[in-house]
């Protein structure tokens, strides 16, 4: 599978950001099932800390994080680092143009967690093959 | 407004009623600017139009200091609540108030100074202090020599239009928020079912439950646009339910009109079609490389017992064991029977042909 980094032989680290803990839990399991190591964040601060302190291979980002916050800052940081991510959202229409223009893969909510994770890992498969 | 009208009006055979409606302020403006007098019938018609139109109109003199109003028609007085003597001689800004947008007022000033045409909506105030949204159209009026003589302003109260627009926007925002929350809720429910199945070691069962819940979610999703109608467009729900089984949009063909039904029927229909699609994926047309399915829906003609009829026709299924496709637990049959409908299945060499029907409830057209 795509879950192991060829360089170190360790599982890929995948950032999962969602303000809904129950969705986060489901995605965490799905990332584990794909042979990767999930790093979960409930808000922007947690997500940015994870990005700074860990070598992330891919990310799953909930777009709207409540209280008018979006994942834009995290997406922008990841894009700057060349790390692939999917935007997981229940509202493709309302999604901020700024977030959309960053170029992440869009995955509409609800999509089965295993599928969300598979979409997130797709760019790695291409890169590692 | 039974004011006398000067005798200088050309005789055009107009009746008295029309004459009494003439606006003396128009006559006064003309008397003060005799060089602008319209000649003959067209002048009379112009004055009648000014007096009788419901469009509020005023003329301002750009050559006097502070560009005062020199003429306002009856509609202007009615709209603003001011009398003629309170209007003429004053700059238009007496209509402004605390909620008039500064930026808009700047644009108005600029347009007047630069002899531009401008159409804006601005908050104005009547004499009694009530506010109204004014669709203001202003522009320069030149004489025959191209010399600027007036600034014309026309005013139309668009408060109702603005309110209707705001209502519509509000309803749209609400529907979108509702849709967003519902998708989130279905995502959360899916998460709960999934991780419960995982920790219990019943992933397969959990997945089956989840797929049904998500199919229901897709069927309902389409209802939000129509939340005020109480009915759902059947075709939209069918397409939404089946979309994940045909990601490229090439395997399932849809045929139907804008038939509508109530929410309850649509949930049963949605789940039934979901089960048929899952079976087609395992054993039927969607399990072969070039198989496809046509889904046709229509209203059954019987006037005393109208029903939604759906023809599910699979083409290009792989040969062998067609009866596998019936769904082992009979859940489709049970759901449709419970809704007082039913399903009839036949198989030929091309695959499954199923006919589903479900009663169309009253008031759903």
Are B196 and A123 in contact by the 8 Å Cβ rule? The answer is: no
Q: What pLDDT is attached to residue B299?
A: 87
pLDDT confidence of residue B64 = 93
Return the pLDDT at B352.
92
A-chain CB neighbours of B188 within 8 Å are: 20, 22-23
Question: Tell me: the pLDDT tens digits for A40-74?
Answer: 999 999 999 999 999 999 999 998 888 878 899 99
Among B135, B157, B179, residue at a domain's last position? B157
Number of domains in chain B: 2
Nearest to B192 among A22, A64, A94 (CB): A22
User: For residue B348, what pLDDT is reported?
Assistant: 87
Q: From CA B222, how far away is CA B212, in angstroms rounded?
A: 16
User: Cα separation of A11 and B295, whole Å?
Assistant: 45
Domain containing B131 equals: 53-157
| pLDDT, mean of residues B8-18 | 39
Same domain, B78 and B196: no
User: Using the beta-carbon criterion (under 8 Å), do A29 and B194 form an inter-chain contact?
Assistant: yes
Q: Is residue B355 located within the same domain as residue B269?
A: yes
Residues B170 and B128 in one domain: no
Q: Stretch A78-99: mean pLDDT, rounded? A: 79
Q: What is the per-residue pLDDT for A110?
A: 81
Q: Which of A110, A111, A119 to mutate to test the interface with B (most CBs of B within 10 A)?
A: A110
User: How far is it, in rounded angstroms, from Cα A84 to Cα A104?
Assistant: 7
Q: Are residues B166 and B314 in the same domain?
A: yes
Q: What pLDDT, in 10s, does the model give residues B20-64?
A: 344 555 556 555 555 555 556 677 888 888 888 889 999 999 999
Domain with B113 in it: what CATH number? 3.30.450.20
- The percent of residues above 70 in pLDDT, for chain A, comes to 88
Taking an 8 Å cut-off on Cβ atoms, the answer to whether B194 and A26 are in contact is yes
Do B126 and B224 fall within a single domain? no
Domain-located, residue B7: no
Q: What pTM value is reported for the model? A: 0.64
Sort B54 into a burial class: Cβ within 10 Å, 0-12 / 13-18 / 19+: exposed
User: Higher-confidence residue: B225 or A55?
Assistant: A55
Which two structure tokens, joined as six digits, stand for B314? 């699979």
How far is the C-alpha of B279 from the C-alpha of B185, rounded, in Å?
Answer: 27
Q: What confidence score (pLDDT) does residue B301 get? A: 65
pLDDT of B350 strictly over 60? yes
ipTM: 0.76
Confidence at residue A118, expressed as pLDDT on a 0 to 100 scale: 94
Nearest to B214 by CA among A35, A114, A29, A33: A114
Exposed e or buried b per residue across B197-226, where buried means at least 16 C-beta atoms within 10 angstroms of its C-beta: bbeeeebeebebbbbbbbbbbbbbbbbbee
> pLDDT at residue B88 above 90?
yes
Question: For residue B228, what pLDDT band results from cuts at 50, 70 and 90?
Answer: low
Confidence of residue A14 (pLDDT cuts 50, 70, 90): very high
Query: How many C-beta neighbours within 10 Å does residue B333 have?
Result: 17
Asked if residue B256 and residue B143 are part of one domain, the reply reads no
If asked whether residues B244 and B344 sit together in one domain, one would say yes
Position A88 pLDDT exceeds 60: yes
* pLDDT mean over A93-122: 81
Mean pLDDT of B231-243: 88
Of B180, B181, B210, Cβ closest to residue A112: B210
Residue B340 has what pLDDT?
A: 87
CATH of domain A13-128: 3.40.50.2300
Q: What is the 3-state secondary structure (H, E, C) of chain A?
A: CCCECCCCCCECEEEEECCCHHHHHHHHHHHHHCCCEEEEECCHHHHHHHHHHCCCCEEEEECECCCCCECHHHHHHHHHHCCCEEEEECCCCCCCHHHHCCCCEEEECCCCHHHHHHHHHHHHHHHHC
Whether residues B194 and B298 share a domain: the answer is: yes
The two tokens of residue A77 are 């940081």
pLDDT value of position A55: 94
Domain extent listing, chain A: 13-128
């Amino acid at each position: 599978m795509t879950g192991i980094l060829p360089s170190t032989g360790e599982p890929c680290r995948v950032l999962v950001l969602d303000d809904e803990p129950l969705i986060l839990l489901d995605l965490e399991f799905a990332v584990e099932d794909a042979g990767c190591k999930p790093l979960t964040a409930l808000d922007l601060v947690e997500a940015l800390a994870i990005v700074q302190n860990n070598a992330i291979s891919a990310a799953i980002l909930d777009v709207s994080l409540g209280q008018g916050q979006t994942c834009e800052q995290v997406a922008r940081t990841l894009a700057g680092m060349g790390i692939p991510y999917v935007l997981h959202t229940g509202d493709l229409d309302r999604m901020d143009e700024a977030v959309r223009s960053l170029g992440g893969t869009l995955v509409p909510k609800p999509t089965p967690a295993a599928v969300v994770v598979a979409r997130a890992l797709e760019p790695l498969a291409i890169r590692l093959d | 407004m039974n004011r006398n009208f000067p005798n200088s009006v050309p005789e055009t055979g107009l009746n008295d009623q029309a004459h009494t409606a003439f606006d003396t302020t128009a006559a006064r403006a003309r008397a003060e600017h005799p060089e602008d007098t319209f000649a003959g019938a067209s002048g009379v018609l112009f004055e009648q139009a000014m007096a009788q139109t419901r469009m509020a109109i005023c003329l301002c003199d750009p050559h006097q200091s502070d560009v005062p109003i020199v003429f306002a028609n009856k509609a202007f007085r009615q709209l603003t609540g001011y009398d003629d003597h309170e209007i003429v001689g004053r700059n238009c800004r007496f209509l402004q108030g605390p909620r008039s947008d500064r930026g808009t007022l700047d644009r108005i000033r600029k347009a007047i100074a630069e002899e531009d045409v401008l159409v804006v909506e601005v908050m104005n105030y009547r004499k009694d202090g009530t506010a109204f949204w004014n669709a203001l159209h202003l522009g320069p009026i030149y004489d025959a020599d191209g010399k600027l003589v007036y600034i014309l302003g026309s005013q139309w109260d668009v408060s109702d239009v603005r309110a209707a627009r705001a209502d519509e926007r509000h309803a749209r925002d609400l529907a979108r928020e509702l849709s967003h929350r519902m998708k989130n809720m279905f995502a959360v429910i899916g998460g709960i079912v999934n991780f419960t199945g995982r920790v219990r070691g019943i992933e397969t069962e959990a997945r089956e439950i989840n797929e049904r819940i998500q199919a229901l979610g897709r069927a309902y999703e389409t209802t939000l646009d129509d939340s005020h109608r109480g009915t759902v467009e059947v075709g939209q729900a069918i397409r939404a339910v089946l979309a994940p089984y045909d990601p490229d949009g090439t395997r399932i063909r849809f045929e139907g009109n804008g038939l509508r039904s109530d929410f309850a029927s649509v949930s049963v229909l949605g789940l039934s079609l979901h089960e048929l699609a899952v079976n087609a994926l395992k054993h039927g047309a969607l399990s072969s490389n070039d198989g496809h399915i046509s889904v046709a829906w229509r209203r059954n003609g019987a006037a005393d017992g109208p029903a939604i009829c759906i023809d599910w026709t699979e083409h290009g299924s792989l040969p062998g064991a067609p009866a596998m496709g019936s769904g082992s637990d009979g859940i489709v049959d049970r759901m449709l029977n419970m809704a007082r409908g039913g399903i009839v299945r036949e198989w030929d060499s091309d695959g499954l042909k199923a006919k589903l029907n479900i009663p169309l409830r009253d008031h759903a057209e």
